[in-house]
Amino acid sequence: MDTLLIQITNQKALGLIHELEELHLIKVLKENIQTKQKLSDKYRGKLPVEIANDMQEYVRKSRNEWDERNIL
Protein backbone atom coordinates (compact mmCIF):
# COMPACT_ATOMS: atom_id res chain seq x y z
CA MET A 1 0.00 0.00 0.00
CA ASP A 2 1.15 3.53 -0.73
CA THR A 3 0.74 6.49 1.60
CA LEU A 4 0.31 9.97 0.15
CA LEU A 5 0.30 13.40 1.72
CA ILE A 6 -2.06 15.71 -0.14
CA GLN A 7 -3.15 19.30 0.33
CA ILE A 8 -6.80 20.19 -0.16
CA THR A 9 -7.18 23.34 -2.23
CA ASN A 10 -10.95 23.17 -2.57
CA GLN A 11 -13.46 22.10 0.07
CA LYS A 12 -15.38 20.06 -2.55
CA ALA A 13 -12.36 17.77 -2.76
CA LEU A 14 -12.62 17.04 0.95
CA GLY A 15 -16.15 15.73 0.41
CA LEU A 16 -14.90 13.48 -2.38
CA ILE A 17 -12.15 12.12 -0.16
CA HIS A 18 -14.66 11.25 2.55
CA GLU A 19 -16.86 9.53 -0.05
CA LEU A 20 -13.86 7.47 -1.19
CA GLU A 21 -13.25 6.51 2.42
CA GLU A 22 -16.88 5.42 2.85
CA LEU A 23 -16.47 3.21 -0.24
CA HIS A 24 -13.41 1.65 1.47
CA LEU A 25 -11.17 2.77 -1.40
CA ILE A 26 -8.94 4.92 0.80
CA LYS A 27 -8.37 5.47 4.50
CA VAL A 28 -7.88 8.93 5.98
CA LEU A 29 -5.11 8.60 8.56
CA LYS A 30 -5.02 12.16 9.89
CA GLU A 31 -6.84 15.37 9.15
CA ASN A 32 -5.71 18.98 9.47
CA ILE A 33 -2.01 18.19 9.49
CA GLN A 34 0.01 21.39 9.67
CA THR A 35 3.12 21.27 7.51
CA LYS A 36 6.19 23.14 8.67
CA GLN A 37 6.23 26.61 7.22
CA LYS A 38 9.36 28.68 6.89
CA LEU A 39 9.28 31.68 9.20
CA SER A 40 10.14 33.98 6.30
CA ASP A 41 6.99 32.81 4.50
CA LYS A 42 4.88 32.97 7.64
CA TYR A 43 5.78 36.55 8.51
CA ARG A 44 6.28 37.99 5.01
CA GLY A 45 4.34 41.23 4.68
CA LYS A 46 3.53 41.58 8.38
CA LEU A 47 5.68 44.69 8.88
CA PRO A 48 5.37 47.83 6.81
CA VAL A 49 8.25 48.01 4.31
CA GLU A 50 9.64 51.22 5.85
CA ILE A 51 9.89 49.69 9.34
CA ALA A 52 11.42 46.49 7.97
CA ASN A 53 14.04 48.49 6.06
CA ASP A 54 14.84 50.54 9.18
CA MET A 55 15.28 47.34 11.18
CA GLN A 56 17.56 45.83 8.50
CA GLU A 57 19.67 49.00 8.52
CA TYR A 58 19.92 48.92 12.32
CA VAL A 59 21.04 45.28 12.27
CA ARG A 60 23.60 46.02 9.56
CA LYS A 61 25.07 48.93 11.55
CA SER A 62 25.10 46.88 14.75
CA ARG A 63 26.97 44.05 13.05
CA ASN A 64 29.52 46.47 11.62
CA GLU A 65 30.08 48.02 15.06
CA TRP A 66 30.45 44.57 16.60
CA ASP A 67 32.96 43.52 13.93
CA GLU A 68 34.99 46.72 14.43
CA ARG A 69 35.16 46.17 18.20
CA ASN A 70 36.29 42.57 17.81
CA ILE A 71 39.08 43.51 15.40
CA LEU A 72 40.72 45.75 17.98
- pLDDT in single tens digits along all 72 residues of the chain: 888 888 889 999 999 999 999 999 999 998 877 778 888 888 888 889 899 999 999 999 999 998 888 776
Task: Classify each residue of 20-46 as buried b or exposed e, where b means 16 or more C-beta atoms within 10 Å of its C-beta.
Answer: eeeeeeeeeeeeeeeeeeeeeeeeeee
Q: What is the pLDDT of residue 72?
A: 61
The whole-angstrom separation of Cα 63 and Cα 47 is: 22
* Annotated domain spans of the chain: 1-33, 41-72
